[in-house]
Amino acid sequence: MLLYPGMTSLDFVGPQHMFSSLMGAQVHHIAKSMAPVTSDSKLTLLPTTTLKRAPRDLDILFVPGGGDGTLAAMADPELLAFLADRGSRAKWVTSVCTGSLVLGAAGLLKGYKATSHWASRSLLKDAGAIETEGRVVRDRNRITGAGVSAGLDLGLTLVGMLRDQAYAETVQLLAEYAPEPPFNAGSPRTAPEAVKQMTEGMFPDFNERARTTLARQVKLRRT
Q: Any idea which residues carry the catalytic annotation?
A: 97
Q: What backbone torsions phi and psi does residue 17 show, to the nearest 5 degrees?
A: -60, -45
Q: Determine the residue type at 65.
A: G
CB neighbours of 195 closer than 8 A, spacing ≥ 6? 185
Distances (CA, A) of 83 to 103, 132, 147: 7, 22, 21
Contact 36, 56 (CB under 8 A): no
Distances (CA, A) of 98 to 7, 22, 48, 210: 9, 25, 23, 10
